[in-house]
């Protein structure tokens, strides 16, 4: 009985370690974004519009060349802004990521904001490219760190992003 315990304990530790969320090198900043897809500006931001996105930053919510300013007391948008993208997944059709490049932050200690092109976030400073459809995984460049991902939920047409 004791030998089985000593064999199973390391296996259990390995399994638990593999289930943890990746740790980001970016500083922790509050995130509290709400997108109401029932409102006219966001009525087309639906699960059927694959790879469509909304950006939340200090100015407000950006979608289809429009900006909706935050109400006072709202709009915590992480370290480098937040991108919310339609992934079309049946479990949760939306994913969200911090727009700061972790590779640049590690090398300079400063926030270098990525821009969105298709379903990639690209850093204009180091050229790193992150795949937003694959958990923000780096696909081009030297980075080994994914973009920081945030909890994203949708209920009754309201998308909520938080950390």
Domain housing 116: 24-162
Task: Give exposure, 134-161, as e/b (b: 16+ Cβ within 10 Å).
Answer: eebebeeeebebbbbbbebeeeeeebbb
At 68-110, the pLDDT tens digits run 987 755 668 999 999 999 988 888 899 999 999 999 999 999 9
Domain count, the chain: 1
Quick one: pLDDT at residue 5? 44
Q: Give the per-residue pLDDT at 138.
A: 96
The reply to whether 56 falls in a domain is: yes
Q: Is residue 79 part of a domain?
A: yes
In a domain, 132, yes or no: yes
Distances in Å between the Cα of 91 and the Cα atoms of 33, 94, 102, 138 are 20, 9, 27, 23
Q: Could you tell me if residue 13 is inside a domain? A: no
18 inside domain: no
Q: Using CA atoms, how far apart are residues 163 and 155, in angstroms rounded to an integer?
A: 17
The domain that holds 31 is classified in CATH as 2.102.10.10
In a domain, 12, yes or no: no
Q: Is residue 2 part of a domain?
A: no
């Amino acid at each position: 009985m004791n030998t089985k315990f000593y064999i199973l304990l390391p296996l259990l530790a390995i399994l638990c370690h593999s289930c943890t969320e990746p740790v980001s090198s970016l500083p922790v900043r509050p995130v509290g974004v709400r997108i109401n897809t029932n409102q006219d500006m966001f009525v087309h931001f639906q699960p059927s519009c694959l790879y469509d996105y909304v950006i939340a930053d200090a100015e407000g919510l950006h979608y289809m060349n429009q900006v909706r300013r935050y109400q006072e007391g709202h709009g915590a948008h992480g370290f480098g802004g937040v991108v919310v993208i339609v992934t079309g997944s049946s479990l949760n059709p939306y994913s969200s990521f911090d727009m700061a490049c972790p590779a640049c932050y590690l090398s300079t200690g400063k926030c270098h904001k990525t821009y969105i092109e298709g379903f990639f976030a690209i850093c204009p400073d180091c050229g790193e490219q992150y795949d937003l459809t694959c958990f923000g995984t780096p696909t081009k460049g030297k980075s080994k760190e994914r973009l920081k991902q945030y909890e994203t939920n949708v209920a009754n047409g309201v998308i909520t992003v938080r950390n």
